[in-house]
Structure 1
Amino acid sequence: MARFREEVVAAMGDGEKHTRRPFERMHRIHEAIAEGRLPNCSSLAKELEVTPKTVQRDITFMRDSFRLPLVYDKKRHGFYYEGEVDDFPDFEIGAEEIAAMFLARTAADAIRGTELADKMRAAFGRLCRSMSERVELNWADLDEAFSRKVPQLPAREVKLFGELAEAVVKRLEVSFHYRKLGADRAEARRVHPLHLGEVDGGWYLIGHDEDRGALRTFALPRITRLKVSGRRFDPPADFDGREYLRRSFGVWTVAGDDSLTLVQVKLSDYAARLARERRWHPTQEVRELNAKGTKVEVCFEAGSLEEVVRWVLSFGSKAQVVGPPELKRMVKEEVKLMGG
């Protein structure tokens, strides 16, 4: 458990002018009690320039959350420690909690400017306020310690993302124009939006194309003239967005084909090291082929091979396709075309 000394959020609603943060107040209360001064709420309130109610709340928190053996002596009208207390405890927060809070914050930053981001920020704010008089995370300190490279969406795509996200959540039919890769012009689409997913830094919408009667995947940058209708729809009971993406190496899938193909690729040198450090696919397995770990075989199941070809070519001579034969053929053809 990592120790992380935090400032506690100033108590609100008492009406007094707070001159000290709660964590500092509690330190002062601890010192007065540890010195045997037998302070009470009234004397501490005067010293700390707060109300007796605030002091009582601090003492209750110290006793219940920090497990300090605080006892009030009715005869002498003051607090004392019933037991040995070496020092005032630091607020403990685990590595998992720090990571979760930080990633939640950066997730909201990635889609800032959208209605969804505003809702996420409000929910995050309620979570933090529920910890009032508990802890105030010092975001400046966290930003110095951690960073996350988040793709920054252009302003148009940010607005588009927010509108699509709301349509997905509320199950509202949408219409837009979409230009496929290699197409000369955009085509009108009428879609039931089912899922938004981020793959390799790009956002994609998975939806049921009503005119084509099948699931389709749409890249947000190629969506224009979006309109969200008031018509609600019921999503397919058996649809699972994560499972749909799982069938492909990236986002490409073969319409109407639910079959999966076992991909086997040998990687060597730096590519082998990367394979042990990264997970490119949910079904990925890595088998070491030599004692040094400089040769491995990567296996996973994919429903479409187009993006697997791109992945294999990214390693150049450090990659060798074992199977399937179709992937071998596709890679060879691409290398041949690259050579002119």
Structure 2
Amino acid sequence: MSSARSERLVNLVLCLLSTRQYLSAERIRSTVAGYSDAPSDEAFFRMFERDKSELRELGVPVETGRNSGLDPNEGYRIARRDYELPEIELAPDEAAALALAARLWDSPQMATSAHNAVLKLRAAGVEVDTDAAPGVQPRVHASDPAFGPLVAAVDAGRVVTFLHRRGPASEPTARTVEPWGVVSYRGRWYLVGHDRARQDVRCFRVSRIADAKAVGPAGAVTVPDGADLLALVAASAGPAPQAAVEATLLLAPDRAVGLRRGAEVVQQTRDGDVVRVQLPDLDVAARSIAGYGADAVVLAPPELRERVLLLLAGALA
């Protein structure tokens, strides 16, 4: 559709929305910019009929009727009650998700789209509080230079070529990939697709990609049905790191100095000090505590106590 026709259709919608009465074709011709260019009455009516059909195909309810029984000419209008969207209601968690999404897409490629989306929601009566969900901040930033070209290639269904480093110190290698999607996982962006040279599915960290270029025709890449991109990235990235654990320990008097660093003494007894300490995860905590033997006894949590006992039993065996 040409820009002139698009502008004319928008003007026609605004004209028909701005009145409660039915407007005659002649009135529309003199009001809506673009119709005055028609060289004849016949050309105008053909243009007007095409525009009405186009709007109705787009779901715009163009009504036909007369303002009174004495009016000899038919007119046209768009009733606001039929044209306007129904009220949009968002739950607090949904509104918070939208606010976080607006913060997330703060890259130059996405900032305008996010800003426009929030404006449209507010115009529809949805108050999107960008300060919603206090204490929650997106950690992913789409600032990698390769992010924009890769997303554009995915949208267009085009093959991409790029240089990829397996690690910070490794030499870059050239890759040709049929991109299926760009996925966020554990605070990083990953490209998922079919590596033509390896003839297999591969995941690439976007921050390690350089000189990304789309090649070949649009629509050449087809994503397999049922492909779970997030699961592919999760399998490629390995198991998730364990969460930190808070342990309550009984430490022998003046012993287990390493565990006492950063620990809080909550009780002193004849057998030693009861302390509370934060440790990186269960495995690290179990190995550290087991290394102190009888000088450190786990009181809580039960799963940590069980792991320490298994390590000590193995050492005894």
TM-score, normalising length: structure 1:
0.42
The structure with higher relative contact order (CA 8 Å, sep 6+) is 1
Which of these two proteins has the greater Rg computed from alpha carbons? Answer: 2
TM-score, normalising length: structure 2:
0.45
